[in-house]
Chain A
Amino acid sequence: MTYYIFTLVFFLFDYFILAMGLNIQYGITGILNFAYIGFVAVGAYVTGVAAMPANTVGQHYILGLGLPFPFNLLLGGFAAMGLSVLIALITLRRLRTDYLAIVLVSLSLVFYDFCNNYVSLFNGADGLYNVPEPFAKTLGLGSNNFIVFFACLTGVVSLIMWFVMSRVMRAPLGRTFRAVRDDAVTAAALGKNTFWMQMKAMMIGSFFAGIGGGLLIQFGGSFNPTAWLPAETFVVFAVLIVGGAGNNIGMFVGALLVETLLIHLPAFLPEIPGHPGLIEYIDTVIVGVVLMVMLWFRPQGIVPARLRKTASFGVDERLDEEAGELDRTTALAGVGTRAEATR
């Protein structure tokens, strides 16, 4: 039972991190990154090979640095970020919206086939396994205790990531990302370097993807191409859409409903007699239906993005009142009422 519960807790926190990364790219900046799972995979693989020794019998891979946690995890995050810079340089300068999305899907497929077939990189289709479990030996943790420990550790990491993301979203940087999403031409006309802003969003989001991927491989001890089929990207999109694009709390709610309750919980339910494996397949159908229902009836998600009100800028109340007074004078002079007359 402990194993089940803490596995669900782990996926909740891990997908919270993944969804926050996609949220800054798509929900906030409007970059339709259909290759997101590729960045998760890079984070996972690099975290794995950074932790593994130089040689392991029966496995072929690069690096093999034997780095301890969390340095291997950070390397995974930065590797995903580095890849995003390359991809952004290729795609963001010339492509927008749906064209960008199509190219990203293509790149994701190319990268997937490459990892699947080029064995020397990350052990090909077999993937990496027997990845050292962080702190397991030091703390003398058995497999069940490790799961409890690592789920809690992932919770702590997700809190740190949430703090970082909240700072970014509340800062002018977050506002500029939203300006670029709403209208890149206008944002540029107001002095914003839209390419660089989109690059920043790609880098931050991909770092989150890399960290989320790194935690995945550390939790399970293995990672192979079946874990990151390109369609997995859409699970993270489902988390984002159900939770509410643009809102970090929404990402947590989405991760709880979609990843934890709809995707992983059914796997722990008893089989339906006479229909082995049916539940496992039905969950994908349910996610699809939930997604359609959400897009139809509540496209803003369960916890919609909130507008930032004037009071939150810490404006001097006296100056605020003065502006209100001036506004009333302007209205008396006819400006406001005339403006409103054009409605």
Chain B
Amino acid sequence: MSVADPTTTIDATLAATAALRCEGLVKAFQGVHAVNGAAFDVPAGQITALIGPNGAGKTTVVNMLSGAMKADRGRVFLGETEITGWPSHRIAQHGLLRTFQLSRELGGLTVLENLLTAAPNQAGDSFLNALLRPGLIRRQERENAERALHLLAVYGLYRHRDTPARELSGGQKKLLEIARAVMGQPKVLLLDEPMAGVNPALIDVLGGYILDLKKDGVTVLMIEHNLGVVERICDYVIVLAEGKTLATGRLSELRQNTEVVKAYLGEVMDASATH
């Protein structure tokens, strides 16, 4: 476990196998630093939680890692490849996909089409192929559709396959977001509060899906406030506070860390005690 040193990684072994790494990330909005030197490694093939109080800069960090937002300073590595400053579509094409805090379904597309949009390397995105190679496109579309239908069945959305995504319920949209990201065959998946606004029963289901992703070799980094979920499914935890990496380690270890308890865990525990 490391404490209050943003340059320190979880440990040397994990650093060597980091699927995603960031160094000294800085982002300011009109002079206010939302992220101020965040640095951490996300170990390959594990589920890592990114936790911290509100305003700690968690979503801003995820936005910078996924290319949705440009960092003012700092570097990001996906495996061995530096992806600093890459646009989000290029990062996604290299295997880092994400979901959003508020579900962002492609509302005018059907549920099946939402998944098909995420399928990588589609020949039919080229105008010339669309015009001149209908056979190739038909074959690829059929294969992708079969894979998408299987995923929809696994995620309990098959019966909604032809429904416009905007008509799904909140929980179903959460499921769709994860299924769609999985359709993109991610090496690293960033989940921004996947359990937010989800009922307790569905939280268990979603947790099961995330564990399944780990079994499939996907590295997961998830922002999560529900410490019960973090305890159950996450292997490692990164604590952000005031835009900096406060600590990294297992949750059980972090519970012993006074700074972490003071900055975040105490607050959460107090809050849960009042309910």
| A and B held together in a complex | yes
A contact residues vs B (CB 8 Å cutoff): 164, 167-168, 171-176, 178-179, 181-183, 185-194, 197, 200, 204, 305, 307-310, 313-316, 319-320, 322-327, 330-331, 334-336, 338-343
In the complex, A186 Cα to B117 Cα: how many Å? 10
- CB-CB under 8 A from B253, the residues of chain A are none
Q: Are A171 and B137 in contact (CB under 8 A)?
A: yes
Which B residues form the contact surface with A (CB < 8 A)? Answer: 66-68, 87-90, 92-93, 97-98, 100, 104-110, 112-113, 116-118, 120, 122-127, 129-131, 134, 137-138, 140-142, 145-146, 149-150, 152-159, 161-162, 164, 169-172, 175, 180, 184, 198-199, 201-202, 205
Question: Within 8 Å CB of A192, what residues of B?
Answer: 89, 117, 125
**Closest chain A residue to B115, Cβ basis:** A190
A171–B126 CA distance with the chains assembled, in angstroms: 9
Given contacts A172-B137, A189-B68, A194-B89, is CB(A339)–CB(B117) below 8 Å? no
Asked whether, in the complex, the Cβ of A188 is within 8 Å of the Cβ of B92, the reply is yes
Q: CB-CB < 8 A to B108: which residues of A?
A: 178, 181-182, 305
Distance between Cα atoms of A232 and B202 in the complex (Å): 53
Flag if B201 contacts A334 (CB, 8 Å): yes
**Partner of A190 from B92, B137, B199 at Cβ < 8 Å:** B92
Q: How far is the CA of A60 from the CA of B225 in the complex (A)?
A: 72
A-B complex: 8 closest residue pairs judged by Cβ atoms: A342-B171, A172-B124, A327-B158, A171-B130, A191-B92, A335-B156, A313-B145, A326-B153
- CA A280 to CA B158, docked complex, whole Å: 55
Which of B93, B122, B127, B158 touches A204 (beta carbons < 8 Å)? Answer: B127
Q: Is the CB of B149 within 8 A of A168?
A: no
Contact A335 B155 (CB under 8 A): yes
Q: Which residue of B lies closest to A191 (CB)?
A: B92
Asked if B106 contacts A172 (CB within 8 A), the reply is no
A342 near B153 with CB under 8 A, answer: no
B-chain residues with CB within 8 Å of residue A342 when the two chains form the complex: 169-172, 198-199, 202
CB pair A326 B106 closer than 8 Å = no
Report the Cα distance A187→B175, complex, angstroms.
17
**Which chain A residues lie closer than 8 Å to B184 at the CB level?**
190-191
Q: With a CB–CB cut-off of 8 A, which chain B residues contact A179? A: 106, 109, 117
Q: Which residue from chain B places its CB closest to the CB of A204 in the assembled complex? A: B127
Distance of A194 Cα from B117 Cα, bound (Å): 13
